[in-house]
Amino acid sequence: MAGSQVTPTRMELTRLKRKLVTATKGHRLLKDKRDELMRQFLDLVREDMELRKKVEKGIEDANRNFVLAKAGMSEETLRAALMAPKQEVYLNQDKKNVMSVDIPVFDYTTRTADKNDIYSYGFAFTSGDLDGAVKSLSDVLPDMLKLAEIEKSCQLMAAEIEKTRRRVNALEHVIIPETQEGIRYISMKLDENERSTQVRLMKVKDMMLEEAHKYSEKQNS
Amino acid sequence: MYKIAVMGDYDSIYGFASLGLAIFPFEDKDLEEAARTVHRLASGGYGIIYMTEHLAEGLQKEIAKYQSQLVPTIILIPGVKGNTGRGIAQVKKSVEQAVGSDILFGNDEN
């Protein structure tokens, strides 16, 4: 145990007492942080799950539409149709600080404002199914970006919660008890020293009085 | 200003090209090449990488590496071959990491 290694001095006692105060304060703060993080995380993760299910369904539907579209025309035509996209998506990433965790906030802009620029092909050689498929995919895109934001936040917060939980536990079960043990050890040792000094002084006093007055000889005579 | 990438087998992702996302098609066996691409994209100005669940299965190490960083965000999406449930498993995993055990979705079927 670390308790046996502390030197029983008054200075060490003051140091340990100060350490205990800091540790207790830190423990309380970290515990609050953990609770608040957990509350926000649970809200966020529920939203994440809902959104993910929605997005997965959306993408699956879009994929089905693409398969249908592909069936209606040749592979080469399809590849050629989607070869040179007109539209481009730019992502602006900002960050937000939630309980000392940086979480991303996404915002996106498209190169052109025209919604119809997702159709990067002439309509003469492609089937109408392709238009529907591309449209269905573009409808999912805002949700996909939102999902990216929320899911990343969840991952980052989960990591932070784990870290905080470990810290709280370490303080609660290791640092604080060890410090208390140290303080107890030192104060007992100091008390013991004081008592032994007291006893020694009394003994010395007795001996000096004996020397001066010779009580025991008088008693015997 | 970041860009958005989509990785996976060609059939699953070619539609995203028309929306203006950058697509990086890979066959399932080109894992090494895909891993290199993930690193290249991560340091090359891509903010979000969407990855099909099938491809992600072989790239666990790369995904785990970027999970704790703010940029890039790697998000799993289902491919044409169907939903493997890996994306949802990922969400459950983060709940488990935070709480200690999955108390929210443990009873769900999928």
User: Looking at residue B107, what is its pLDDT?
Assistant: 56
β-strand partners of B50? B6, B75
Segment B59-84 shows an average pLDDT of 85
Confidence band for A104, pLDDT divided at 50, 70 and 90:
confident
Q: Which residue has the tokens 């060890």?
A: A178
Q: How far is B56 from chain A (nearest CA, A)?
A: 15
Residues ≥6 apart with Cβ < 8 Å to A18: none
Element (H, E) at A186: helix A176-213
Find which of A66, A70, A144 to mutate to test the B interface (most B CBs within 10 Å of its CB). A144
Q: Is the pLDDT of residue A103 over 80?
A: yes
Q: Is the pLDDT of residue B110 over 50?
A: no
Lowest-confidence segment of A33-37, A121-125, A179-183, B68-72 by average pLDDT: A121-125
Segment A145-169 shows an average pLDDT of 92
More confident site: A221 or A163: A163
pLDDT tens digits for range B93-108: 888 888 887 777 765 5
Assess whether the previous peptide bond of B72 is cis (omega < 30° from 0).
yes
User: Looking at residue A3, what is its pLDDT?
Assistant: 47
Could you report the predicted ipTM of this complex, rounded to two decimals? Answer: 0.86
Query: Is there a contact between A89 and B12 if contact means CB atoms under 8 Å apart?
Result: no
Query: Is there a contact between A154 and B18 if contact means CB atoms under 8 Å apart?
Result: no
Identify which of A54-68, A182-196, B4-18, B40-54 has the greatest average pLDDT. Answer: A182-196
pLDDT tens digits for range A17-54: 999 999 999 999 999 999 999 999 999 999 999 999 99
Query: Is there a contact between B104 and A133 if contact means CB atoms under 8 Å apart?
Result: no
Query: Cα separations (Å) of B67 from A92, A153, A155?
Result: 19, 10, 7
Q: Which residue from A minimizes the CA distance to B97?
A: A158
* Nearest Cα to Cα of residue A126 among A82, A65, A85, A178: A82
User: How many pairs of residues across A and B have Cβ atoms under 8 Å apart?
Assistant: 140
Of A67, A144, A162, nearest to B98 by CB-CB distance is A162
Share of chain A above pLDDT 90, in %: 45
Find which of B11, B65, B73 to mutate to test the A interface (most A CBs within 10 Å of its CB). B73
Structural domains of chain A ordered from first start: 10-182 (1.10.287.3240)
Query: Is there a contact between A56 and B78 if contact means CB atoms under 8 Å apart?
Result: yes
User: Looking at residue A177, what is its pLDDT?
Assistant: 95
Q: Which residue from A minimizes the CA distance to B2?
A: A91
**For B3-99, which CATH class?**
alpha beta
Query: Is there a contact between A52 and B87 if contact means CB atoms under 8 Å apart?
Result: yes
pLDDT tens digits for range A48-97: 999 999 998 888 888 888 888 888 787 777 777 777 777 778 888 888 88
pLDDT tens digits for range A189-211: 999 999 999 999 999 999 999 88
